């Protein structure tokens, strides 16, 4: 398990807690990645959780913990979003549902959350959600992406850093609207 320190916008080499260069896929480091899904995203969440753990990422599963067709995504997504919001500079969330739309809408109700939806198509969408919008939650539409597409989207999302610059000004304006 890696425990890494991130140095944003400094140009410094990122290192692991052992002083060795961190693998590229761990450059955007987090204290924790919080996962949440309802029944529609349950299987995909389980697959992504396993992949993240194999990558050495710290993961906290906020539920669902069993397949229940009568569950409601806000019961899992909102607690996960609140955990991400506790430390928006480090924590991330990945949430799963049928389309990912409702899950993102719920997560975006939490102050400090910037949830982006991906349900297929060019991976530029995922990349730009981090690069330009500093998305801290990725919402995946499990009925529209297969397991391999979702894994690749998560990898791209984790590897992409916020570009800063003119985008910081825009993120401040969004944050101001939350006050």
User: Is 135's pLDDT higher than 70?
Assistant: yes
Domain membership of residue 163 (yes or no) is: yes
Residue identified by tokens 């529609």 is 40
> Do 4 and 58 meet the contact criterion of CB atoms below 8 Å apart?
no
Cα–chain center distance at 11 = 23
Provide the CATH number for the domain around residue 167: 3.40.1400.10
Cα–Cα distance for residue pair 2/24, rounded to 1 Å: 13
Give 179's pLDDT tier (boundaries 50, 70, 90): confident
User: Is 1's pLDDT higher than 90?
Assistant: no
pLDDT of residue 31: 75
Segment 16-32, tens digit of pLDDT: 333 334 444 444 455 79
Tokens of 102: 């409702």
Please state the pTM of the whole predicted model: 0.84
Domain hosting 136: range is 30-177
- Overall number of domains in the chain: 1
Segment 38-55, tens digit of pLDDT: 999 999 999 999 999 999
- Residue among 91, 84, 87 at smallest CA distance from 29: 91
Cα–Cα distance for residue pair 78/59, rounded to 1 Å: 17
Domain membership of residue 14 (yes or no) is: no
Cα–chain center distance at 18 = 26
Domain membership of residue 18 (yes or no) is: no
Tokens of 44: 């995909």
Show which residues are catalytic: 103, 132
Residue identified by tokens 């825009």 is 170
């Amino acid at each position: 398990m890696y425990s890494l320190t991130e140095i944003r916008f400094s140009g410094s080499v990122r290192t692991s807690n052992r002083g060795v260069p961190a693998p590229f896929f761990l450059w955007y480091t987090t204290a924790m990645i919080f996962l949440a899904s309802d029944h529609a995203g349950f299987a995909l969440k389980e697959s992504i959780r396993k992949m993240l753990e194999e990558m050495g990422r710290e993961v906290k599963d906020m539920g669902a913990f069993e397949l229940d067709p009568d569950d409601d995504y806000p019961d899992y997504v909102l607690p996960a979003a609140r955990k991400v919001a506790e430390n928006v500079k480090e924590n991330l969330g990945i949430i799963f549902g049928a389309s990912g739309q409702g899950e993102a809408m719920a997560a975006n109700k939490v102050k400090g959350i910037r949830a982006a939806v991906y349900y297929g198509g060019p991976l530029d969408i995922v990349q730009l959600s981090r690069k330009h919008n500093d998305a801290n939650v990725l919402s995946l539409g499990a009925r529209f992406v297969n397991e391999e597409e979702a894994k690749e989207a998560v990898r791209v999302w984790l590897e992409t850093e916020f570009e800063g610059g003119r985008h910081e000004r825009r993120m401040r304006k969004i944050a101001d609207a939350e006050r």
